Amino acid sequence: MMTWATKKCDWNLISSDIEKELEANIDVIPAERVADVRHYLTHGELSMAFEYLYLEIIEKSNSKMFLSPDRVKELATLFSLDDEVECMIDHEFWKKLTSFIELSR
């Protein structure tokens, strides 16, 4: 139920952070997935854009994180993606993300 959308945040900065992360991985993410993430960003579905993008980043061995691990976790929890009920694409998102971050450190 998109409870994150009612939180007071700098949504432009968050959207910009997601876009920067996408651009940092543009060469490793398939074009159709890039288009999907941009579609979600354009329509204000920041949580979907974030989840979709990070699932792609996690799957690609040659991906890189532009944002700091702490910022990534901060955004994921802002979107309540630490709750499997809130994950729209993969209910194991939080487990996958935290494992990926630990391996990236």
Structural domain contains residue 94: yes
Give the pLDDT of residue 9.
84
Please tell me whether the overall predicted TM-score, pTM, comes out greater than 0.85 for this model. yes
The answer to whether residue 77 is domain-embedded is: yes
In a domain, 23, yes or no: yes
| Residue 67 CA: distances (Å) to CA of 1, 17, 23, 29 | 26, 7, 11, 17
- The CA distance from 46 to 5, in Å, is 9
| 7-28 per-position pLDDT tens digit | 678 899 999 999 999 999 999 9
Q: How many domains does the chain have?
A: 1
Mean pLDDT value of segment 44-67: 94
**pLDDT score for 104:** 82
The verdict on residue 3 lying in a domain is no
**Nearest of 47, 105, 33, 100 to residue 75 by alpha carbon:** 47
Domain coverage including residue 62: 10-104
Residue 40 lies in a domain: yes
In a domain, 95, yes or no: yes
* In a domain? residue 38: yes
pLDDT band at residue 6 under the 50/70/90 scheme = low
Residue 100 is assigned to a structural domain of this protein: yes
User: How far apart, in whole angstroms, are the C-alpha atoms of residue 87 and residue 94?
Assistant: 8
d(CA 19, CA 49): 9
